[in-house]
C-alpha cells in the first residue's frame, strides 16, 4: 500500500503547488510557489510570491520599536512570533486605558476562535461530527471589534 504525498497548499492563493522556487537577488533570497496547470493541452506555469526566505528587512526597521520582525508567508509560525513581540512590547510600554479597552474584545474574540479550533480538532480525533456553526453568531463576533 502506498501513501499519497500530502498535497502542498500555497499560503497566498490556497491552491496546490508543485514546489517552492528560490530566487537570489543580491544577498537576499525570495520564495515563490510554482503552480502548473494545463490549458489546451499545454502546461502553463503560474508563480505566487511568498516573501523573503528569512524576513522583510526594510519594513521590519519601521516596526523595530514594537520588536516585530515581519516574515514571509512560508513561515507558518510567524503569527506566534508577532504575538510574542506584541506581548513583550505591551509589558514594556504600558497601554493607556482607552487602548486597553479596545484590546480586550479583540483578545476575547481570539480566545473564542482558539477554543473553537481546539474543540473541533478534538471532535475530529474522536470521530465526532462538529456542531454546525451559527452564521449569525459568527457575524456578530466579526463585528465585535
Residue 83 pLDDT > 90: yes
For 29-56, write each residue's pLDDT tens digit. 999 999 999 999 999 999 999 999 989 8
Work out whether the CA dihedral 105, 110, 114, 119 comes out positive or negative. positive
- What pTM does this model have? 0.62
Average pLDDT over residues 89-114: 93
More confident residue, 135 or 60: 60
pLDDT of 73: 86
Of all residues in the chain, what percent are helix, strand and coil, respectively (each to 5)? 40, 20, 35
| Nearest by Cα to 110 from 82, 74, 134, 136 | 82
Residue 135 pLDDT > 70: no
Q: How confident is the model at residue 12 (pLDDT cuts 50, 70, 90)?
A: very high
- What integer best gives the mean pLDDT of the chain? 84
> In the chain, what are the domain boundaries?
7-53, 55-94, 97-145
Of 15-24, 67-76, 118-127, which gets the smallest average pLDDT?
Answer: 118-127
More confident residue, 137 or 145: 137
The length of the chain in residues reads: 145
Amino acid at each position: 500500500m502506498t501513501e499519497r504525498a500530502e498535497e502542498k497548499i500555497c499560503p497566498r492563493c490556497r491552491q496546490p503547488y508543485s514546489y517552492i522556487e528560490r530566487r537570489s537577488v543580491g544577498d537576499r533570497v525570495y520564495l515563490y510557489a510554482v503552480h502548473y496547470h494545463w490549458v489546451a493541452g499545454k502546461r502553463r506555469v503560474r508563480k505566487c510570491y511568498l516573501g523573503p526566505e528569512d524576513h522583510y528587512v526594510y519594513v521590519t526597521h519601521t516596526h523595530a520599536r514594537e520588536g516585530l520582525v515581519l516574515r514571509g508567508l512560508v513561515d507558518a509560525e510567524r503569527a506566534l512570533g508577532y504575538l510574542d513581540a506584541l506581548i513583550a512590547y505591551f509589558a514594556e510600554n504600558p497601554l493607556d486605558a482607552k487602548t486597553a479597552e479596545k484590546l480586550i474584545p479583540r483578545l476575547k474574540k481570539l480566545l473564542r476562535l482558539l477554543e473553537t479550533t481546539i474543540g473541533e480538532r478534538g471532535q475530529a480525533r474522536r470521530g465526532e461530527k462538529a456542531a454546525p456553526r451559527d452564521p449569525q453568531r459568527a457575524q456578530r463576533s466579526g463585528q465585535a471589534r
